[in-house]
């Protein structure tokens, strides 16, 4: 895509700090470095978000994630964990519209990264949960 910053990075039009590359995937340091080693993993094929992946691209991209994550862990022995974050569409905080996976190494609870989930379980009855699950199951069946 012409004006995509990640496509320009893949094409070496914009410099980056690469950590891994093959024919399908390019991984490089996130310029923000939320924590030391914060890496982005992107498909070389331009897809906007997870909703545009086909099964092959998803399999190829996600199969590389553990390899890159292990490399981060081995490069930084003080790494105590790792968050894998993927934002899809603007409402979900996607800011670059070329799909990308964040690998964010964690060093301590005070390492300037937070991720919390609210417990809304009291808002949903057993019937609500069953209905939600069935709605998703129906759509999954339609995509087989």
Q: What is the set of active-site residues?
A: 100
Do 41 and 27 touch, CB atoms closer than 8 A?
yes
From residue 23, alpha-carbon distances to 32, 60, 117 in Å are 26, 10, 36
Q: Looking up tokens 């340091």, which residue turns up?
A: 29
Q: Would you mind telling me the total number of residues written for the chain in this entry?
A: 144
Alpha helices in the chain (DSSP H): 5-10, 55-75, 126-142
Sign of CA dihedral 82, 70, 62, 4: positive
């Amino acid at each position: 895509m012409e004006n995509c910053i990640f496509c320009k990075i893949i094409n070496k039009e914009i410099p980056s700090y690469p950590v891994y590359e093959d024919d399908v995937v390019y991984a490089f340091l996130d310029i923000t470095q939320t924590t030391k080693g914060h890496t982005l993993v992107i498909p070389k094929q331009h897809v906007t978000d997870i909703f545009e992946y086909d099964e092959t691209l998803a399999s190829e991209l996600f199969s590389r994630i553990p390899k890159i994550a292990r490399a981060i862990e081995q490069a930084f022995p003080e790494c105590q964990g790792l968050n894998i974050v993927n934002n899809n569409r603007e409402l979900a905080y996607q800011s670059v519209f070329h799909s990308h996976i964040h690998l964010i190494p964690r060093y301590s609870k005070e390492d300037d990264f937070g991720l919390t989930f609210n417990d809304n379980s009291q808002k949903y009855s057993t019937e609500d949960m069953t209905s939600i699950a069935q709605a998703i199951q129906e759509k999954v069946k339609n995509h087989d």
